[in-house]
Amino acid sequence: MYVQAAQEVSPKASKPLQTEQKKSVVTRGDVKIIEATENIRYLSQQMAKEYLFLFKTPRQEETRRALKQSLIALADNLRVISATTKDSDTKDILEFLAYSKDQIAQIFTEKLDKERAALMLDYSETLLEGADSIAAAHAYDFTKEEHMLIVAKKMEYLTERMMKYYIALHVGFDNPTNKEQMKEAIKKFDENIKQIDAYPYPGEIVPIKKEMVRSWQANRSFLDRSESLFIPKLMLLSTGSMEALTAQLALYHNKNQ
């Protein structure tokens, strides 16, 4: 029953937190859960991206190790939410996500093939949708720095999502839905980086921001030409550097909350 449900989940982009769902009183538990959901969003896309890359180029032991580490991180973040939440709906969603995590672990032990690659795409959307629902249940009014931290974390997640579809479109999953999801991820990244570019960072952070913007402009030009130009290794390296810059901005906002 669960496997069928996971396969039938239709891809959905990350949903914004709804205003009416926000809380006036925030607890440390809410903060921890929001942090964990951001991590799950990122890991959901990263694992699918890495698996698709492995499907394309099987002899990549470093990628196999990265997948195992990501699965451990996913389990850790699910445990954080489980140990923190008292919301019954969240607990129900966690049970399903834990099952999905176990199915992903099973896929990692099996032969690489197109069917399992398709399952990884499905499970990545299942995890994403579950993380979105949990985040909405524990939403609250962010401070300015918390908001910018979330912006940076979303950019990390969106980078992985863009690359997931970039690779998917060239390894047998070239369909209108995946093309549209990639375009939507690019659009959302554009919206978030505008907030980063407009933020008044102190002098020592400004060069990081500028390099981040330049890096995105370069990567975006290649993503725009993805149908005619497929350079996965170069793109993974380039977007990895961009993510490292984003992580530095996230660290700044985390320290200044």
pLDDT digits (tens, 9 = 90+) for 177-195: 999 999 999 999 999 999 9
pLDDT band at 29 (very low <50, low <70, confident <90, very high): confident
**pLDDT band, residue 25 (cuts 50/70/90):** low
CATH topology assigned to domain 26-141: Four Helix Bundle (Hemerythrin (Met), subunit A) (1.20.120)
pLDDT of residue 257: 79
Q: At what angle do helices 88-108 and 28-56 cross, to 10 degrees?
A: 20
Q: Can you give the pLDDT at residue 9?
A: 37
For residue 3, give both structure tokens: 């496997």
Q: Are 73 and 39 in contact (CB under 8 A)?
A: yes
Q: 26-141 with 142-257: one CATH topology? A: yes
What pLDDT shows up at residue 10? 37
Cα 82 to chain centroid, rounded:
20
- Name the burial class of residue 85, with classes exposed (0-12), middle (13-18) and buried (19+) by CB atoms within 10 angstroms of its CB: buried
As beta bridge partners, residue 140 has 23
Q: Is the pLDDT of residue 12 over 90?
A: no
Segments making up each domain of the chain, as ranges: 26-141, 142-257
Instruction: State the DSSP H helix or E strand holding residue 199, giving kind and residue range, or none if neither.
Output: none
Encode pLDDT of 212-249 as tens digits: 999 999 999 999 998 889 999 999 999 999 999 999 99
pLDDT in tens, 39-95: 999 999 999 999 999 999 887 888 999 999 999 999 999 999 999 999 999 999 999
State the fold for domain 142-257.
Answer: Four Helix Bundle (Hemerythrin (Met), subunit A) (1.20.120)
Q: What is the pLDDT of residues 126-142, one digit of tens each?
A: 999 999 999 999 988 99
Place of tokens 């990639």: 182
Q: What is the pLDDT of residue 16?
A: 41
Q: Is the pTM of this model over 0.95?
A: no
Phi–psi pair at 113, nearest 5 degrees? -155, 175
Weakest-pLDDT range from 8-12, 42-46, 97-101, 246-250 = 8-12
pLDDT tier for residue 30 given thresholds of 50, 70 and 90: confident
Asked if the model's pLDDT at residue 147 lies above 60, the reply is yes
